[in-house]
């Protein structure tokens, strides 16, 4: 079995609860990080097989905030995108699920992490 590796990482600036990003939807912040990670990895959004994003506060964020972030990042609707809520461990769990998807052969390229606002 080949190694599963993280080839890129990106994050947004950090603010306090209800601070500077208090009115910015999580999917807008998430899509900025997705775009940057994809660009840094040297791949096209179409190359991504799946997006997995952890998010705890999803009330009033839409039906699938991970899908919304993926769409804003240019990832086609034909690609899978889903969210996970495991409270503080959501982003890390998303990365672990991404590794599982690759290990089982379900996906080759997965963008995973967390988004919150």
Q: What's the pLDDT at 17?
A: 87
Give start and end residues of each alpha helix (H) in the chain.
26-41, 65-72, 90-103
Q: What's the pLDDT at 94?
A: 99
pLDDT tens per residue across span 3-35: 999 999 999 999 898 899 999 999 999 999 999
Q: Could you tell me the pTM of the whole model?
A: 0.94
- Indicate the average pLDDT of the chain: 96
Tell me, what DSSP letter sits at residue 106? S
Determine the longest span between alpha carbons in the chain, in angstroms. 45
Taking residues 93-104, report their average pLDDT.
Answer: 98
Q: Which domains does the chain have, with CATH numbers?
A: 27-114 (3.40.47.10)
Query: Poorest-confidence range of 1-5, 82-86, 104-108?
Result: 1-5
Neighbours of 38 (CB within 10 A): 22
Q: What's the pLDDT at 1?
A: 61
Helix (H, G, I), strand (E, B) or coil at 87: coil
Percent of the chain residues topping a pLDDT of 70:
99
pLDDT tens per residue across span 58-73: 988 899 999 999 999 9
82 near 98, Cβ under 8 Å?
Answer: no
Q: What's the pLDDT at 117?
A: 87
The H or E element containing residue 80 is strand 80-84
């Amino acid at each position: 079995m080949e190694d599963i590796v993280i080839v890129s990482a990106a994050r947004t600036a950090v603010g306090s609860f209800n601070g500077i990003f208090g009115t910015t939807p999580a999917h807008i912040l998430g899509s900025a990080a997705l775009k940057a990670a994809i660009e840094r990895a040297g791949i096209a959004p179409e190359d991504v097989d799946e997006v997995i994003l952890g998010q705890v506060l999803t009330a009033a964020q839409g039906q699938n905030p991970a899908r919304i972030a993926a769409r804003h990042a240019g990832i086609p609707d034909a690609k899978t995108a889903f969210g996970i809520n495991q409270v503080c461990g959501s982003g890390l769990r998303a990365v672990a699920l991404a590794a599982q998807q690759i290990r089982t052969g379900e996906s080759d390229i997965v963008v995973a992490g967390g988004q919150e606002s």
